[in-house]
Structure 1
Amino acid sequence: MATRKRTPSVCIGIVYREHTEKAIQAAIEVTNWLRERKHKVYTLPDQKLIPNTSPLKTPQAWKKISLIVVLGGDGTYLRAASYIHGRKIPVIGFNMGSLGFLTNFSADQVFPTLEKTLLGEMELHPRILLEASIYKNQKKIKMFLALNDIVIERGSFSHLINIAIYSEKFFVSQVKADGLIIATPTGSTAYNLAAGGPLIYPDSKAIVMTPIAPHSLNSRPIIFPEDRTMSFKLEGKETRAHFIVDGQHKIEISSENEVVIEKSNQFHWVVRSPSHNFFHLLREKLKFGDRS
């Protein structure tokens, strides 16, 4: 009789899609499966505690985590990424949502895929993160990391916004639009794509800036090298806008603020199959090249 190969005991965090019975049940089943293999399981913050897990609250607990398992859609995955905040913890996503571009593993393959991951048979791919800082009176008041994108948009405000754009302190352009998307290659398949921006291969060393419904036909997406620092200011004394990070965090900014965006020194680590193919994923999820 063949025996199952034992893997060292590790600590694993779980993020699941709340209010979705399928994801909740999967979280319970994955927990039981991991505990049977002597792994310690944690529930990530701001979720109902999964039975037989511990809450992941302290810095000491975070230091023990070797893997994050996401059970949900891309929104759930981005929520997990926001918790990690640049820590070198790989993330594996199982799709229990509608699109599942980030959570690209099938929900019905959870256990064999986890088995291969814990045996070291998967690959870890680094993805760049954006570091976005908000300044007021030349003082940094907030800083965020983004895996997908930073969006500056008018939101519920009725007027278009004028945004002055600078690269390494050199003036680039002033855009009058509903907003701007600054996206990583990972985020190029999300809001950026819907707004008419280009697809960028995940390993590319680039950042794309795409206007949202610009008021001029001359406003087009621009691709920058990843090492370029960009800054943005709202023009107009009473101008206000929303600043949104990966669709997870939203704050209001005004013409008194300056937004500075650059590539972070940290990376996001994603688990991928050795047979993973980006173009297959485009065809499967986005119907890329579909002529039907």
Structure 2
Amino acid sequence: MMKVATTTAKKMTAATEKKTAATNRLQLPEKSAIALVYRIETAKAVSLAKKVAEFLKAKGHEVFTGPDQKLVPGTKAAKTKKQLDSLKLVIVLGGDGTYLRAVRILEGRSVPIIGFNMGSLGFLTAHSADSTFDIIEEALAGKMELRPRSMIFAKVLRKGKTRGEYHALNDIVIERGSMSQLINTSIYSDKFLVSEVKADGFIVSSPSGSTAYNLAAGGPILHPESPVFVVTPVAPHSLTSRPLIVPDNSTLSFKLDGRTMKAHFIVDGMKVTELSADDEVVLTRSCYDHWMVRQADHNYFTLLREKLKFGDRS
């Protein structure tokens, strides 16, 4: 009886996994609206963008060029809310910086992004540029998977009033910038004081961003599906200040101590405002998930070994 129950349970689990995999496949309707975001300063990326546009148009799709870029011949500029809302897929040709620019363009829209690496490292743009057309063909045929990634929602308050809201895929950074002195910052989790730290700055990273600035500052690598954030101080004054992993269902807040304190507030590598002692930064998990397009056999640990030589003993 136990064997029958176990066999039935295994079959149900396998069926559930199969159904989930099918649900998470990228399914593009005919004549989909697809946007191209390319690395502007690279002639190779510009050339590839033209070829991809021609390829997609030949398949019957409507092709757009991302905002603030030179228009790819034969495409439309995606400028209006209606155009951005209509997008079914974004194709990124460049490095991780170009990928993050595409994420900013979407402003929280749940539009899948597929990235082709034409930069140096390429964690977000995981596909080789040499395989561009083969991978796009797989995507159009419904053979690619959608992988959800958590994002960070940041709210900047001044004397209790909201003065800015932002969504980040990789990280939120508070840093002293060009100021000579360290910044004193109080860190709270769900209104409880975590610590008061003096440092060059702080990185709050999502799992996706853990291999970026966070890793360079000595923070841990997080699996992309981990439901956590990591807070990593940058060059702290005290050796007792260490990276801290917190569940992403908690609320983190940061306040500068000292009336003359100033700091830069940076979202996914872009400075968006300056902070003072009158400001409070409140961070939670975004209500939006980001959707990455990956091959069905994609493995994160293979990516770590390829990109970072993770575990390499040679």
Q: In 1, are the aligned partners of 2:251 and 2:283 still within 8 Å (CA)?
A: yes
**1:101 and 2:107 correspond:** no
Worse overlay, 19-28 or 245-254: 245-254
The Cα of 1:171 is off from its aligned counterpart by 0.7
1:16-64 CA-to-partner distances (Å, cap 9, x unmatched) read 0011011000100100111111111001111111111001011111121
Stretches of structure 1 that go unaligned for 5 or more consecutive residues are 1-5
1:80-101 CA-to-partner distances (Å, cap 9, x unmatched) read 0111121110000000001111
**1:130 and 2:152 correspond:** yes
Q: Give the distance between the partners of 2:137 and 2:110, measured in 1 at CA.
A: 21
SS at match of 2:85: helix
Q: Give the distance between the partners of 1:192 and 1:116, measured in 2 at CA.
A: 33
**1:63 and 2:85 correspond:** yes
The corresponding residue for 2:98 is 76
RMSD: 1.0
1:201-239 CA-to-partner distances (Å, cap 9, x unmatched) read 000100000000111010000000010001000011100
The corresponding residue for 1:196 is 218
Q: Give the distance between the partners of 1:37 and 1:248, measured in 2 at CA.
A: 36
The corresponding residue for 1:168 is 190
Count of aligned pairs between the two proteins: 287
Which structure shows the bigger proportion of residues in helix conformation? 2
**1:240 and 2:262 correspond:** yes
Q: Give the distance between the partners of 1:166 and 1:129, measured in 2 at CA.
A: 20
TM-score (norm 1): 0.97
Worse overlay, 7-16 or 227-236: 7-16
- Runs (4+) of structure 1 exceeding 2 A deviation are none
Q: Give the distance between the partners of 2:126 and 2:36, measured in 1 at CA.
A: 16
SS at match of 2:238: coil
The corresponding residue for 2:240 is 218
Q: Give the distance between the partners of 2:312 and 2:200, measured in 1 at CA.
A: 30
TM-score (norm 2): 0.90
The Cα of 1:250 is off from its aligned counterpart by 3.0
Q: Which AA in structure 2 matches 1:62?
A: L
Q: How does 1:267-278 map to 2 (within 5 A)?
A: 267-278=289-300
The corresponding residue for 1:12 is 34
Q: In 2, are the aligned partners of 1:10 and 1:39 still within 8 Å (CA)?
A: yes
The Cα of 1:249 is off from its aligned counterpart by 3.6
1:171-220 CA-to-partner distances (Å, cap 9, x unmatched) read 11011000000000000010000000000000010000000011101000
The corresponding residue for 1:3 is none
Q: Give the distance between the partners of 2:155 and 2:31, measured in 1 at CA.
A: 38
**1:116 and 2:138 correspond:** yes
The corresponding residue for 1:207 is 229
Greater radius of gyration (CA): 2
The Cα of 1:7 is off from its aligned counterpart by 6.8
Q: Give the distance between the partners of 1:16 and 1:148, measured in 2 at CA.
A: 19
The corresponding residue for 2:281 is 259
Stretches of structure 2 that go unaligned for 5 or more consecutive residues are 1-27
Q: Which AA in structure 1 matches 2:295?
A: S
SS at match of 1:12: strand
The percentage of counterpart residues that share the same residue type is 55
Q: In 1, are the aligned partners of 2:264 and 2:271 still within 8 Å (CA)?
A: no
**1:44 and 2:45 correspond:** no
Q: Which AA in structure 2 matches 1:113?
A: I
Q: Which AA in structure 2 matches 1:17?
A: R
SS at match of 1:284: helix
Q: Give the distance between the partners of 1:80 and 1:234, measured in 2 at CA.
A: 31
